[in-house]
Amino acid sequence: MKKLTVFGVILAVIVLGLYAREAYELGSLIFNYTDPLTHTLDGAFNRLINAYPWWWLLCSFGTVICGVLAPVLYFCRSVHSIELAFSAFGLDILTFVLNACFRQSWMTVFAGNWLPQIFLWLIVLVFAGYLSGRKDYSYSSQSGWRFLGSR
């Protein structure tokens, strides 16, 4: 990965802030399911799994993890930030489509509540495209494989 630029840092901070907000919302959802008397997370996770479908939880956690790690890895100048940014974008769209199809949440589509979601998709797609455009294509002359940490 090439040097960090001002535009890239601004995009990374915006993406990190947007996905940190989603991580906060997901964390507050988890802690809303805790038992107020025992405060155990085991019961909270069991109630959360019973309340939401497994694919929604998988896509939501995957989106948040990929969305938070992509800017962090960009700051570390790792090539893997590109894959994580595209994964966050894809998982976010998959979550939206699956919610609309299987959880009958078509009201969000027709009510206009999807505009912030499209803004998030555009920002993440611009960030992922920016990262893939700045990818360093210098590979080792000895082999075509590039391992973690090799130059």
DSSP 51-92: HS-HHHHHHHHHHHHHHHHHHHHHHTT-THHHHHHHHHHHHH
Q: Which residue has the higher pLDDT, 105 or 141?
A: 105
What are the residue boundaries of the structural domains of the chain, listed by start?
Answer: 6-133
How much is the pLDDT for 101? 78
The end-to-end CA distance of the chain, in Å, is 10
pTM of the model as a whole: 0.76
Helix (H/G/I), strand (E/B), else coil: 39: coil
CA 129 to CA 133: how far, in whole Å?
Answer: 6
CA 68 to CA 77: how far, in whole Å?
Answer: 15
The 10s digit of each residue's pLDDT in 113-138 is: 677 788 888 999 999 989 888 776 44
pLDDT over 70, % of the chain: 74
Which of the four pLDDT bands, split at 50, 70 and 90, describes residue 87? very high
CA 127 to CA 8: how far, in whole Å?
Answer: 8
Q: Closest by alpha carbon to 48, among 29, 65, 63?
A: 29
Q: What is the mean pLDDT of the chain?
A: 79
